[in-house]
C-alpha cells in the first residue's frame, strides 16, 4: 500500500467574500465599522503598552469619480513584517486572541475572528495598508487583492507608529465614499469612542465625535443632564424622546440609557437596541440584551463584557448575557419604581402610552404590580377606567375571562350599573385574578355569562302562565339548537333577548363547530366526545318581558310566526355575542331573512291592492 500524499486546503477568497457579503454582513457599509474597530483595537493595544497614551483616528477622502479614495489612519500599535505574515496573510488569524482571552473569553479588543478586513473587498478591489509597528523595524506596505494574492514591501521612508488603510472605491460603492455619508457613518459607529475621530475632506478637518459626555460611563449622573441626554438620544436614534431611565449594573461594565418611546408600540414589534462594545457601535439590532417586556424603550447600551458574534449584530447567548439582561431589566424596573414613589405624573404618562408593557411586567412581578396598579387602564361597563378608581368604588371587582363573555353580558350589566371589567385582553385576566393576592383588601371574582341572569327580575307565576303557549312554541323551536327559552325582565328594555352558555354548552358548541370543519374520522372522534356532555349542554335564551317585540311574541302566540321569530331572535343573540354559527344556524338566518323580506313585500302589495 502506498503512503497517502498530504495536501493543503486552498481557499477561494473571492468565493469567501461572496459568502461574507451575502450572509454575514447586512450591507457593504459595514467595512467602515470594521476599519474603525481595527483602529480602536490598535489604539487599545498601544495603551496597554503605554498607559495614558492618547489615541486618535483620521479619515481622509480624496479624488473624485473612479479615483475616489478613503484613507483610515490610526496611531495604534501598528504591525511588524512578522505580524503581517502572521495576521494579515492568514484569513481567520487574529492578533487579538491572547491565551488568557481564549481561556476566559475576555478580551480588551473588539475583533477576534480575523476576517473583518475582508469586508473592505465589498467596496474596493484592493486594500493597501501602510504600517509602522511601535516595536520598531521598517515601515511596511501590504497590498491585498480579492483573488487572494498580496504583496509586501519595505518602505524607504520611516512612518510614525500606526497604520493607514487606503481603499479606492468600486463604481457601485461610490456612495459609501461621499463625504456627507462618511461623516454620518463615522458618527453612527463612533459617536461614543473615547478618542477623537477626525474627517478630512477638501482641506477641511472636522471632529465627528465631540467629547464623550460624563454620563456615558456613569449613567446615574444622566438625570442631572436631562436636556443633553435627550438631544443625544435624538441625534443617535433619530426620535424625539421625552423621557429616559438610566441603566446601571453592579459591575459597572455595562450601562446605558433606556429612552421611553414617545408612541405606543405593537406587542409583536421587534425590540432592537443599539449596543456599543468598548464604545464602538456593534449592533443596532440587538434584540436579546433586554428582557422581552421592555418593549416600551429604545436603549443605548455600552458594554465591555459581552461577546459579539462574527456578524456583530448579536451577542452570544451565554450566562454572562443572561446576567446582564436581568440586571438591565432590574435597573429599568427600579427606574419605574422610583417614578411610582416620587413622580407619579411622569409614571402615569408613561403607563398611558405603554400600558401593555406595564401589564406584562406586572404579571411577572407582583411587587411591581402593587406599586403601579393604580394607573393600569381597563375596559369596564363604566367606561375606560384606571384600576385605582375601580378599587376606590369599594365593590367586589367582577371580571369576564374573555372578550366574547364580556360582549354577552355588558349590555345587561351596564344597564343595571353593575361594574364588570373586561379582562379578555392580554394579561388582564391574570391581573384581575392576582389582584387580591397583591392587595389584600380587594376582592375580585370571575363572572360567567350565565351568572348575570341572577340580576334579572323574575316574572310572576300568573303572568308566566299567560305565556305558556308562546313559551311551548319557543322551546320546541329551540330544541334542535339544544337551547331553552326563559322569560325574565331585564334592562335595557331595547335588548329583546340574551343568550347565555353554560361551561358545558360552550364546550359542546366548540366541539360541534370543529366537527363541521374536520375530516370524517376526526369529526366522529369529536362526535363521541360531545355525546358525553349532551345532557348538560343546554344553553338559555332569555326573553326580556320589558321589550315591546317580546311582549308581542309572548302575547300573540302563532303556530307559524312564533317559531320563526324565536329562531331569528336566537341567531340574532348569537351574532351579538360573537358566537361562531354552525351550518344549521346559518341556514336559519338565511331562510329567516328571505321569509321576512317576502312577508314584508307581500304586506306592501296587499296594502297597495287595498288602495
Ligand X SMILES: Nc1ncnc2c1ncn2[C@@H]1O[C@H](COP(=O)(O)OP(=O)(O)OP(=O)(O)O)[C@@H](O)[C@H]1O
Q: Which residues bind ligand X (CB under 6 A)?
A: 34, 37-39, 42, 74, 76-79, 87-88, 94-96, 111-117, 163
Which region, left, alpha or beta, applies to residue 61 given φ > 0 means left and ψ of -120 to 50 means alpha?
A: beta
Least distance (Å) between residue 159 CB and ligand X: 12
CB 348 within 8 A of CB 358: no
Residue number with CB closer to ligand X (90 or 603): 90
Q: How far apart are CA 62 and CA 189, in angstroms?
A: 21
Q: Which residues pair with 297 in a beta bridge?
A: 260
Indicate the residue among 94 and 209 with the shorter CB distance to ligand X: 94
Q: What are the DSSP E strand ranges found in 75-161?
A: 124-132, 140-144, 150-154
Closer to ligand X by CB, 121 or 542: give it: 121
Residue number, 34 or 405, with CB nearest to ligand X: 34
The packing angle between helices 503-517 and 520-531, to 10°, is: 160
Instruction: Please report how close the Cβ of residue 316 comes to ligand X at its closest, in angstroms.
Output: 13
> Residue 81's CB: how many other CB atoms inside 10 A?
17
- Give whichever of 282 and 588 is closer to ligand X, judged by the CB atom: 282
Nearer to ligand X, 150 or 425 (CB): 150
Q: From CA 41, how far away is CA 132, in angstroms rounded? A: 15
Q: Whole-angstrom Cα distance, residue 188 to residue 282?
A: 10
Q: Least distance (Å) from ligand X to the CB of residue 136?
A: 15
What are the residues facing 197 on neighbouring strands?
A: 57
Q: Of 220, 228, 226, which Cα lies nearest the Cα of 256?
A: 220
Greatest C-alpha distance within the chain: 119
Minimum CB–partner distance for residue 175 and ligand X (Å):
23
Cβ distance to ligand X smaller for residue 109 or 579: 109
Output the smallest distance, CB 233 to ligand X, in A: 28
Tell whether residue 163 is among the known ligand binding residues.
yes
Q: Is 104 among the annotated ligand-binding positions? A: no
Provide the minimum distance between the beta carbon of 20 and ligand X in the complex, in angstroms, as a whole number: 10
According to the annotation, is 34 in a ligand binding site?
yes
Which residues have C-beta within 8 Å of that of residue 82, sequence separation ≥ 6?
none
3-state secondary structure of 554: helix
Nearer to ligand X by Cβ, of 308 and 335: the residue is: 308
Q: Which residue is nearest to ligand X (CB)?
A: 111
Q: Write down the least CB distance from residue 325 to ligand X, Å.
A: 23
Report yes or no: 409 and 400 within 8 Å, Cβ to Cβ.
Answer: yes
**Residue 48 assigned to a binding site:** no
Half-sphere exposure of 314 (CA within 13 A, CB side): 7
Least distance (Å) between residue 51 CB and ligand X: 19
- Phi/psi of residue 41, nearest 5 degrees: -65, -40
Does the annotation flag 38 for ligand binding? Answer: yes
DSSP strand E in 105-232: where? 124-132, 140-144, 150-154, 162-169, 197-201, 204-207
Q: Indicate the annotated binding residues for ATP.
A: 34, 38, 74, 163, 312
Amino acid at each position: 500500500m502506498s503512503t497517502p500524499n498530504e495536501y493543503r486546503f486552498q481557499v477561494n477568497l473571492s468565493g469567501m467574500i461572496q459568502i461574507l457579503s451575502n450572509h454575514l454582513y447586512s450591507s457593504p457599509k459595514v467595512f467602515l465599522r470594521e476599519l474603525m474597530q481595527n483602529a480602536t483595537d490598535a489604539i487599545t493595544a498601544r495603551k496597554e503598552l503605554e498607559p495614558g497614551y492618547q489615541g486618535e483616528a483620521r479619515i481622509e477622502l480624496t479624488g473624485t469619480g473612479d479615483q475616489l479614495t478613503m484613507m483610515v489612519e490610526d496611531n495604534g500599535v501598528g504591525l511588524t513584517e512578522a505580524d503581517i505574515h502572521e495576521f494579515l496573510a492568514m484569513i481567520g488569524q487574529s492578533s487579538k486572541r491572547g491565551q488568557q482571552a481564549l481561556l476566559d473569553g475576555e478580551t480588551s479588543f473588539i475583533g477576534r475572528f480575523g476576517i473583518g478586513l475582508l469586508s473592505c473587498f465589498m467596496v474596493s478591489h484592493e486594500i493597501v495598508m501602510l504600517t509602522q509597528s511601535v516595536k520598531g523595524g521598517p515601515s511596511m506596505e501590504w497590498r491585498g487583492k480579492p483573488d487572494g494574492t498580496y504583496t509586501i514591501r519595505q518602505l524607504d521612508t520611516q512612518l510614525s507608529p500606526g497604520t493607514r488603510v487606503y481603499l479606492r472605491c468600486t463604481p457601485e460603492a461610490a456612495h459609501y465614499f461621499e463625504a456627507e455619508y462618511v461623516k454620518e457613518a463615522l458618527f453612527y459607529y463612533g459617536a461614543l469612542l473615547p478618542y477623537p475621530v477626525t474627517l478630512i475632506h477638501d482641506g477641511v478637518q472636522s471632529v465627528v465625535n465631540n467629547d464623550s459626555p460624563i454620563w456615558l460611563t456613569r449613567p446615574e449622573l444622566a438625570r442631572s443632564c436631562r436636556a443633553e441626554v435627550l438631544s443625544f438620544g435624538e441625534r443617535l436614534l433619530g426620535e424625539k424622546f421625552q423621557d429616559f431611565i438610566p441603566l446601571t449594573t453592579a459591575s459597572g461594565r455595562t450601562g446605558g440609557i433606556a429612552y421611553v418611546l414617545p408612541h405606543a408600540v405593537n406587542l409583536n414589534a421587534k425590540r432592537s437596541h443599539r449596543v456599543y462594545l468598548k464604545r464602538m457601535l456593534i449592533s443596532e439590532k440587538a434584540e436579546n440584551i433586554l428582557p422581552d417586556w421592555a418593549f416600551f424603550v429604545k436603549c443605548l447600551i455600552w458594554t465591555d463584557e459581552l461577546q459579539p458574534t462574527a456578524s456583530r449584530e448579536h451577542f452570544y447567548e451565554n450566562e454572562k448575557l443572561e446576567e446582564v439582561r436581568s440586571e438591565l431589566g432590574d435597573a429599568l424596573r427600579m427606574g419605574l419604581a422610583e417614578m411610582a414613589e416620587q413622580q407619579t405624573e411622569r409614571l402615569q404618562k408613561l403607563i398611558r402610552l405603554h400600558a401593555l408593557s406595564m401589564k406584562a411586567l406586572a404579571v411577572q412581578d407582583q411587587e411591581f404590580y402593587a406599586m403601579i396598579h393604580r394607573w393600569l387602564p381597563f375596559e369596564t361597563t363604566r367606561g375606560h377606567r384606571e384600576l385605582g378608581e375601580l378599587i376606590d368604588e369599594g365593590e367586589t371587582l367582577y371580571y369576564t375571562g374573555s372578550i366574547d363573555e364580556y360582549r354577552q353580558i355588558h349590555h345587561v350589566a351596564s344597564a343595571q350599573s353593575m361594574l364588570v371589567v373586561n379582562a379578555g385582553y392580554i394579561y388582564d385576566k391574570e391581573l384581575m385574578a392576582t389582584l387580591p393576592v397583591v392587595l389584600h383588601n380587594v376582592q375580585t371574582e370571575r363572572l360567567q355569562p350565565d351568572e348575570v341572569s341572577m340580576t334579572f327580575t323574575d316574572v310572576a307565576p300568573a303572568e308566566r302562565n299567560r305565556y305558556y303557549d308562546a313559551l311551548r312554541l319557543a322551546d320546541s323551536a329551540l330544541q334542535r339548537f339544544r337551547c331553552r327559552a326563559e322569560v325574565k325582565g331585564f334592562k335595557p328594555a331595547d335588548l329583546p333577548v340574551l343568550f347565555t352558555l353554560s361551561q358545558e354548552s360552550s364546550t359542546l358548541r366548540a366541539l360541534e363547530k370543529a366537527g363541521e370543519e374536520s375530516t370524517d374520522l376526526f369529526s366522529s372522534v369529536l362526535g363521541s366526545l360531545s355525546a358525553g356532555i349532551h345532557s348538560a349542554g343546554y344553553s338559555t335564551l332569555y326573553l326580556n318581558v320589558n321589550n315591546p317585540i317580546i311582549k308581542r311574541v309572548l302575547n300573540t302566540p302563532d303556530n307559524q310566526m312564533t317559531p320563526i321569530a324565536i329562531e331569528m331572535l336566537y341567531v340574532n343573540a348569537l351574532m351579538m355575542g360573537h358566537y361562531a354559527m354552525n351550518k344549521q344556524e346559518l341556514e336559519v338566518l338565511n331562510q329567516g331573512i328571505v321569509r321576512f323580506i317576502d312577508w314584508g313585500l307581500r304586506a306592501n302589495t296587499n296594502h297597495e291592492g287595498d288602495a
